[in-house]
Amino acid sequence: MRPIGIVGNLSRDRIDGGPPCTGGGAFHCARGLRAFGRLGVIVTRSSVDDRRELLPPLVRLGLPVRWRPGEPTTAFALDYDGEERRLAVEAISEPWAAEDALGWVRNSLRGVEWVHVAPLLRSDFPPETIAALARGRRLSLDGQGLARVSAVGPLQLDPHYDPEVLRHVSILKLAEDEAQLLVGGFDERTLSHLGVPEIVVTLGSRGSIVYADGLVEHVPARPRAADPTGAGDAFAAVYLACRATRFSPVAAAQRATALVGDLLVGRAA
């Protein structure tokens, strides 16, 4: 069974005023893959200064990691009130270049056919970089890279992404607020406007919406009392791993929902 690839920055997170910790799509996707028992190659960046602190928790998950410097490390402050989250951007890393995708990233992903791209902000992966990453691969994208404005301060969302970003995307993962912002909802008609053949909208404790073959189906979840940080990333990684293993879209969402719920409860225990 071939590994899937995860490409994205590490971040330096402060949760509810606590000490800085490792975050970012690369880390939380790796947690999901480890829990699922699927091999993955994690391609990631952070600043040189933060490498010693942020990289070891990722490496300890036991998946192959390919790291390069990206300056500075993206940083967030996150505050939760139940499922409600306030997020502030404290630092923004440089974009991934198409030359990265065609150089060291391509070498790191040799033999990988399914890749999830995990941007933290809109500037992380320009359209030409997405196109380069998608060459010869099936590519999944986190919708944070469409909606999140690259600006320091309280996180801003707006719908003004470059539609070229989606040209080479096979699977799009959106949070509920992102779907509302970008297309005004998550029924067949609204999601079809994005032009992506397969879309999953995560709804927190209410489960997810799967759009595939022009139809929408709701996948319920069992509410769990747990820290939700990284749940969407873990869900996206497990969903892609299931799809790469020939699960149907709905079956993949069901498996990802169950596994991520268990993963979050295990972390809270």
**Active site positions, annotated:** 233
Strand 84-91 relative to strand 198-202: parallel, antiparallel, unpaired?
A: unpaired
Query: SS3 for 32?
Result: helix
Residue 6 has a CB neighbour count (10 Å cut-off) of: 31
Q: Which residue is it, tokens 């992966």? A: 125
- Dump strand ranges (E) for 126-202: 138-142, 153-154, 171-175, 198-202
Whether 58 contacts 48, CB under 8 Å: no
d(CA 93, CA 254): 34
CB 100 within 8 A of CB 129: yes
Handedness of CA 210, 211, 212, 214 (dihedral sign): positive
Strand partners, 85: 80
